Amino acid sequence: MNIPFGDIIKDGLTSFFKKESNESVLGIDIGSSSIKVVQIKKKGGKAVLETYGALSLGPYMQSDIGQVVNAPVDVIASALVDVIKEANVTTNYSAAAIPSLSSFMSVITLPSGVSKENFAEIIPNEARKYIPIPMSEVSLDWWPIPRQVESYEESEVGVVQPEVKTEVLLVAIHNDTLSKYQDILNKVGLNTNFFELEIFSSIRSTFSHDLAPVLFIDFGASKTKLSIVEYGIIRVFHIVNRGGADISKNISQAMSISFKDAEKLKREIGLDKSANVDAAEIVSLSIEYMLSDANNVVLAYEKKYNKNISKVILSGGGALTKGLFNRAKENFRAEVIYGDPFSKTEAPAFLTPVLEVSGPEFAAAVGIALRQLS
């Protein structure tokens, strides 16, 4: 089945169902180790932050905080009820961001001469070359990348000419995943009529009107996701098979301590070798692996399109690892900033320092709420 992007993807966003607006809305981000919620409302044409909260899923599965868990629907629903109560959420109008790991996303190139009128017929056939499961088991969505952000090449006489082939952003989500998330929200008694991938939610909440290519790095618990975005359109999406939980696990095994103690040590020490050289070196090995992968992705993009990355945005809970920001600044030949999703909302001034620190963890939850409010 195909549900077109329509006008939504023009802002670098995607939705699988139409949305409804309400005075107050709830954005939900269910990750592999925690749940984040953000409630906002529209007032005077602005998004006002009402409440937010986060809850670790580990204890619900007899695991430690920070551990990656594969929780069933009933457990996730129970945890969601708890975080809603703790955050004093007052609305049942919600939308959920679906983990990018539950989807397939790629830029595909269609044969020259294909018109948009034929996309609905051609793209599902092309998708079979990239997606290793039957098309009947997934929901497909796509958007042709605007000509102004397509690659250009030099002709023999030195005249810049556009390539004739059309690039298309292809997204596929397993139908079972959509059903699972709908089931979770139904069990909690929340009303929703659309979902979207977390990457698009995060883009909405953290990006400005950037025209030059931007590298977005989401340091999650189970994986690290890399996206190169230009004109609000994802040009590259890459998953690094290493996340924050892997770092804690490595510390636990190498130093013969519990995962709980390793998680605490990772948060307190990070890359600071003066505090604990053994722990810092273990953290450093994983960080360098992630950055190396990111460098390869950037190099391939710059070589293919002859464009440089102008900015790097760090997001996700792992982005707050002590020393990571400075290491990233050393690594990339571009401006490096933290994602600041709460800057898209209004909140009491005394909360600003707290929101700036916690912001990278709430990018998807804020973004999906903003989408619902708009």
Q: What is the pLDDT of residue 11?
A: 37
CATH 3.30.420.380 residue ranges in the chain? 1-205+348-374
Q: What is the pLDDT of residue 148?
A: 56
Of 180, 214, 216, 172, nearest in space to 5 by CA:
172
Q: What is the pLDDT of residue 5?
A: 29
Q: What is the pLDDT of residue 194?
A: 82
What phi, psi does 336 have (nearest 5°)? -120, 130
3-class DSSP state for residue 218?
A: strand
Q: Which two tokens stand for residue 122?
A: 């051609």
Q: What is the pLDDT of residue 161?
A: 54
Q: What is the pLDDT of residue 16?
A: 35
Q: What is the pLDDT of residue 159?
A: 52
Which mean pLDDT values do the consecutive 10-residue runs of the chain (374 residues) have? 30 37 85 97 92 97 95 98 97 94 87 80 88 89 72 49 73 93 96 90 91 95 95 91 96 96 94 95 97 97 94 96 96 95 93 92 96 88
Q: What is the pLDDT of residue 77?
A: 98
Chosen CATH of 207-339 out of 3.20.20.300, 3.30.465.10, 2.60.40.1660, 3.30.420.40:
3.30.420.40
CATH 3.30.420.40 residue ranges in the chain? 207-339
Number of other CB atoms surrounding residue 267 within 10 Å: 15
- Is the domain spanning 1-205+348-374 CATH 3.40.1190.20? The answer is no
Please give the model's pTM, rounded to 2 decimal places: 0.87
3-class DSSP state for residue 117?
A: helix
What phi, psi does 218 have (nearest 5°)? -105, 105
Q: Is 22 exposed, middle or buried (0-12, 13-18, 19+ CB in 10 A)?
A: middle
- Report long-range pairs for 353-361 (Cβ below 8 Å, ≥24 apart): 355/49, 357/320, 360/314, 360/315, 360/316, 360/317, 360/319, 360/320, 361/36, 361/54, 361/316, 361/317, 361/320
Q: What is the pLDDT of residue 132?
A: 85
Q: What is the pLDDT of residue 13?
A: 34
